[in-house]
Amino acid sequence: MGSAARKVPLCIPDMGDDEIAAAAEVIRSGWLAHGPKNHDFEEAFCHFLGVKHAVSVNSCASALFLAVHASGIKGEVILPSFTFVASANAVVTGGAQCVFADVDYETCNLNPAAVEAAITPRTEAIMAVHYGGQVADMEALAKIAARHKLLLIEDSAEAIGATQGEKKTGAWGLGCFSFYPTKNLSTGEGGMFTTADQALADKCRAIAGHGVASSTWAREKKEKPWLRAATYAGFNFRMSNLNAALGAVQMKKIEPMNAARRKHAASYNLKLNKDLFDLPVERPGFTHVYQMYTVKAKGFDRTLFLAKMREKGIGATVHFDPAVHTQPYYAELAASKVPLPVTDRLTANILTLPIYPQMSEDDVAYVAEHANAAAAACRT
């Protein structure tokens, strides 16, 4: 019998003794729900991004919903279809309408010219989705938003720490972040909403906590902590004290974790066969943090390629296919009927290879070697 294949999963969250100690501290404290660690996490997040206000929530989807709903957006929101469906769901459930615009082939991010062309009298916001750790062209999108007096929302689920110039994602508009285990920073489940507007931050904090303006932890210090009056019709989007404790520790590691991802991406770039793959592009003035390492297949059968990679224990996959505008619910919307040729091309040939901070150089070499061999064997 042959030996078992080596295992290189798509991603492993970088959790260690410090996170275990932080979780144990919270469990021993008895305060498991939203509490003091949320304040610590939010404060560290603001400092890292250079933003004024951060609201910890239970997911990026909740943060995106808050960005639309709390801002009172009821018209059209321009966003890419080449994204996870949560981006579009937040627009629709927040009370607005999706208008999909095409993306740039190299970066997989919104094409500013396509955004400009999609603007109508009903347009109220642009939602930029930073794909896989690469910042959308926020300088161009911010100018478009300012010129047309549109709200700018950043789906930064995949790009904490990525920059354009000196500015990080989440600092251009309303920032929405994910801390799912595949992301650059993880709390297990969780998200963050960022803004420069204190009134909006306060409103989002209240809506995320059943519409009540003060949290249970904050009310503990009041003379009558039982008083809970709703200012808004709210939801329960709160992040727990336990999740926030993990986030506060992860904030201390985010820069070395991102540096490790960049190192592995550079190694992939050297080892992968450019005749078989279009490799990721990092444009001048941008810093890519490689939440995903994605390539485009050049002339080979992607499904067969992925099967061969799985046979070698390699967790390669696809992000994202199908595009949102082709999914059953969104395919019925009138705004989904516009042609998106670059999006269609990407969904047909995009591939995601494993990347995470704890990968060894041998892991990267193993993946690259078998990716080259599988792609060559699957030429069409």
Domains of the chain: 17-254 (3.40.640.10), 255-377 (3.90.1150.10)
Residue 1 clears pLDDT 50, i.e. is over it: no
- Say what the pLDDT of residue 213 is: 83
The answer on pLDDT for 222 being more than 70 is no
pLDDT tens per residue, range 11-34:
999 999 999 999 999 999 999 999
Question: What residue spans of the chain are helical by DSSP H?
Answer: 17-29, 36-49, 60-69, 85-93, 112-118, 138-147, 198-207, 216-219, 241-251, 254-271, 302-311, 328-331, 341-349, 361-377
183 is catalytic: yes
Residue 130 has pLDDT above 90, yes or no: yes
Question: Mean pLDDT, the chain, as a whole number?
Answer: 95
Tell me what the mean pLDDT of segment 159-176 comes to.
Answer: 98
pLDDT at 161 over 60: yes
- Give the count of alpha carbons within 13 A of 62, CB side only: 25
Give the orientation angle of helix 198-207 with respect to helix 60-69, to 10 degrees.
120
Supply 190's token pair: 């969780």
* pLDDT confidence band for 2 (50 / 70 / 90): very low
* 310-333 tens-digit pLDDT: 999 999 999 999 999 999 999 988
The two structure tokens encoding residue 76 = 């059209």
* List 37, 168, 183, 253, catalytic entry: 183
